[in-house]
Amino acid sequence: MTTSLERRRFLKSVAAAGVILPGMSMFGAAMAANDTLELGEAQNFDFDALINRAQTMATKDYVAPIAPDPEIVGKIDYDTHGKLHYKRDHSPFADGSGTYPLTFFHLGMYFAKPVHMYLLEDGAAREVVYRPDYFDMPEDSIARKLSDNSGFAGFRLHENLERDDWKTQDWAAFLGASYFRAIGDEGQYGLSARGITVNTATSVPEEFPDFREFYIEPAKSAEDPVTIYALLDGPSITGAYKFLLYRGKGVTMDIEKHLFIRKDIERLGIAPLTSMFWYSEQNKSFRFDWRPEVHDSDGLELWTGSGERIWRQLNNPEVIRASAFGDHTPRGFGLMQRDREVSHYLDGVRYHRRPSLWVEPLEDWNKG
């Protein structure tokens, strides 16, 4: 099938150094600091090769990933999963070999598909092998029965090692299907982005392709990006992604992706965003709550190819409704949280600090 190449920049919240001994590689330093962190054999990595893999996969039948020990993973419910915490003394790059330490999410009922995690340096990748003792968990947790090398569900990036609170504060996370998100300049998570959407709000069931592999290259300084490569796989599509994550005031991501169609798709979503809107001050038809308004985003903003700025307030209709906005060479779009007045929410989860997410195409997207 044909291929498509898209690049885009994610601008989060637009609304509102270590020492390694000579001769010791990043992997060697990581192993010295975390002598129980098991890494696989080094293998060559090249983004062009990952693109070729994705293209080859698209010519073959889709094979869904299988959850390891499904009888165990299926019993790790929301509450059980919330008690599984990755030990910070096993965090890759926490020894100073990178600026932002990395921690992993455990598998569970809602994140049952294993994702392979690789640490990357100078074109060599080594997989982090799952072991239950990487996690703090209750003595009676069923997760203790999970086999070694079962895989992880996702990962997150923590704040700069120079910050005293880096162990408790993270700024970007990749977890579940192709979902990922980052904090804004208020230091909060909110809405999410997705690598791709397939058949959303159509006559056929929606598909949720998965990021199956991640290759993570650390930032050497606070000015450098964390570089992440990802392999996408789904029943109708495959892809290879490159993320450059910059931690500044909020988070900026430069994203390059190569997509390969495995079979016909009724509706393909490029640079999709996912948020929560229950009701607002203007729309209270679903209000069954004492809070004045409840939402992570309050509107869609568009910057058209002709330079026009468009704002559309979000709504919560009684039935699924799809709205379309035609454009040629769009300059930007995003889901925004413009209302920053705390008294408009009166909620301890701080909806007034939720980030906005703005997308700017770095190439001509043409008509759509």
> Tens of pLDDT along 35-75?
558 999 999 999 999 999 999 999 999 999 988 999 999 99
Whether the predicted pLDDT of 14 surpasses 90: no
Q: What is the pLDDT of residue 30?
A: 44
Domains of the chain: 3-192+210-263 (2.70.98.10), 275-368 (no CATH)
The predicted pLDDT at position 36 comes to: 58
Prediction pTM value:
0.89
pLDDT (0 to 100) of residue 6: 40
The pLDDT of residue 345 is 85
pLDDT for residue 355 = 95
**Average of per-residue pLDDT across 213-239:** 98
Q: What is the mean pLDDT of the chain?
A: 89
The pLDDT score that the predictor gives to residue 19 is 32
Residue 335's pLDDT is: 97
Region of poorest pLDDT, from 22-36, 67-81, 313-327, 353-367: 22-36
Give the pLDDT band of residue 29 (cuts 50, 70, 90): very low
pLDDT band, very low/low/confident/very high, at 319 (cuts 50, 70, 90)? confident
Q: State mean pLDDT over 140-147.
A: 94
SS (H, E, C) the chain: CCEEEEEEEEEECCCCCCCCCCCCCHHHHHHHHCCCCCECCCEECCHHHHHHHHHHHCCCCCCCCCCCCHHHHCCCCHHHHCCCEECHHHCCCCCCCCCCCEEEECCECCECCCEEEEEEECCEEEEECCCHHHEECCCCCHHHHCCCCCCECEEEEECCCCCCCCCCCEEEEEECCCEEEECCCCCCCCCEEECCEECCCCCCCCECCEEEEEEEECCCCCCCCEEEEEEEECCCEEEEEEEEEEEECEEEEEEEEEEEECCCCCCEECCCEECCEEECCCCCCCCCCCCCCEECCCEEEEECCCCCEEEEECCCCCCCCCCCCCCECCCEEEEECCCCCHHHCCCCCCHHHCCCEEEEECCCCCEC
The residue-averaged pLDDT of 180-184 equals 97
Q: Is the pLDDT of residue 290 over 90?
A: no
Listed range (14-23, 90-99, 261-270) with the worst mean pLDDT = 14-23
